[in-house]
Amino acid sequence: MNPTLVLITILLYFIVLFFISSIAGKRSDNQGFFIGNRKSAWYVVAFAMIGSSISGVTFVSVPGMVGASGFSYLQMVLGFVVGQFIIAFVLIPLFYRMNLISIYGYLESRYGMASHKTGAWFFFISKMLGASVRLFLVCLILQLLIFDPFHIPFSINVLFTVLLVWLYTFQSGVKSLIWTDSLKTICLLVSVGLCIYYIASDLQLNMKETWNVIFNSDLSHTFFFEDVNEKQFFFKQFLGGVFTVIAMTGLDQDMMQRNLSCKNFRDSQKNMLTSSILQFFVISLFLMLGVLLYTFTAKHGIENPMKSDELFPMIATGNYFPIIVGILFIIGLVSSAYATAGSALTALTTSFTVDILKVKNLVEKDLTKVRKWVHVGMALGMGTVIIVFNIFNNTSVIDAVYTLASYTYGPILGMFAFGIFTRRRVRDRYIPLIAILSPIFCFILQKYSVVWFNGYNFSYELLIFNAFFTFVGLGLASMGNGKIETLK
């Protein structure tokens, strides 16, 4: 695909994005940046949440992963749905009752200042790594399509990419993200739908025949109950999905910032339940696209790339179809990746400003100044992590995202679970140590699991063990310390 055309497509998309952001950001204050002034309509947030939950990683990696693991990812997505129901009826009422700007304020009220900062720092590390890994994939594709043809180094690519994300989020934060995510959702659905249409047309399949090809293919194998030692084993994937979405959505400032922008907790619950069902069907579309991509390469004798993440970009931009397919791919990729990075940058800025710097007593003018400098720092940090990840990456990006989440979100999940489901006082000063030791125990467990447990390989259910170790540690730190009067 012509690199100039790719660049023009990206620039046109950003003109639309900046236009929407400028309208949404008019008369925006710090409350608008952090929680959208709690004036967002639930159905708008629900539609936007479809796009915010589908990152550039999903857009590129999910179709490609079909070749190695079939539709096994749907097992995890079913867990996502269950997890989002738990978030809707357990966490959302709690956060609204406490009138939180940052959800990690709960940890301070339940345990103390040390746990508040521990939760905020673990979120900071989790989100910085996760968002950077997602944006890294986009940078790789842009390097291939635009920057390599012009002999521009990867570091300039990263600078350009992060700068664009910073520009459209620096003014209005969540207030504009709701609307830009809605644009992203539209672009994403149109892109994947039309890509499926064009590939099916090339294969000379009508709708019924397309359906039969997909579900008669070995690549559409969904449920894996045969071997408990395999990573695709159903209960590993399903339970991993339940707890991953609780940690990465319910206990993630980025995702919950949108939910907390709804007018009240009931509207937020409607948003969460609606978006969870829609997300299941959207991810199913990506998996079906994957089967069609592999069917297409087999029919035309095209060699599949070494990395599955490169399959969709290779076919969409390789002049196999009308130019509109490549343009749709670029729009879908850019809309998914940049919106995800923008929301992460906003959440990182919010959490670092509110939780770590503790600036709640500053006047509006001074708070705005601090928030803007933090926003610049978060953008620079994200760019640095992308460059470092480019040096060391040797795995599928979507696998890297969930592996990182298993280690970094586990302590947060354990802290919230202990606080909500027990009434024990915990010695606050021990909580940072417990949160650090739990991932270390998990690393040892994963490293030696094959030897210790008769060939058992841990998958994303490692997150559950991480949270369990934290829960047990908090229990030990609460021994002889009495019960709290009330749960806050």
> 301-328 in b/e burial notation, b at 16+ Cβ within 10 A?
ebebeebbbbbbbbbbbeebbeeebbbb
Average predicted confidence (pLDDT) for the chain = 79
Q: Which two tokens stand for residue 27?
A: 């008369």
Average pLDDT over residues 456-485: 81
CA-based nearest residue to 178, from 353, 322, 28: 28
Contacts of 24 (CB under 8 A, 6+ apart): 172, 175, 176, 178, 179, 180
Interval 16-33: pLDDT, tens? 777 776 665 555 544 444
Give residue-wise pLDDT tens across range 101-117: 677 788 888 888 888 88
* Mean per-residue pLDDT, 359-369: 71
Query: Which among 306, 20, 2 is positioned nearest to 149, based on CA atoms?
Result: 2
Q: What is the pLDDT of residue 390?
A: 77
- In 3D, which of 61, 17, 7 has the Cα closest to residue 327? 7
Res. 268: pLDDT tops 90: no
Tokens of 460: 């994303």
Global pTM reads: 0.69
The whole-angstrom separation of Cα 373 and Cα 349 is 9
Per-residue pLDDT tens digits for 469-483: 999 999 998 876 666
CA-closest candidate to residue 286, choices 428, 191, 372, 355? 191
Map out the domains of the chain with their CATH numbers. Answer: 3-398 (1.20.1730.10)
Predicted confidence at residue 435, as pLDDT, reads 92
468: pLDDT strictly greater than 90: yes
Closest CA to 49 of 282, 246, 220, 243: 282
pLDDT of residue 391: 76
Cα torsion through 333, 334, 340, 346, rounded to 10: 170
Amino acid at 88: A
* Mean pLDDT within 291-318: 83
**Of the listed ranges 106-120, 232-246, 306-320, 432-446, the one predicted with least confidence:** 306-320
Give the position of tokens 């500053």: 362
What proportion of the chain, given as a percentage, has pLDDT over 70? 82
Write the pLDDT tens digit of every residue in 391-437.
766 555 556 666 777 888 889 889 999 988 888 888 888 999 999 99
Identify the band that residue 361 occupies on the pLDDT scale cut at 50, 70 and 90: low
Q: What's the pLDDT tens digit per position in 147-206?
A: 888 888 888 988 888 887 787 666 554 556 666 677 777 777 777 888 888 888 888 888
Q: What is the mean pLDDT of residues 244-253?
A: 80
Q: Which two tokens stand for residue 247?
A: 């940690």
Q: Please state, in angstroms and rounded to a whole number, the distance separating the CA atoms of residues 320 and 113.
A: 58
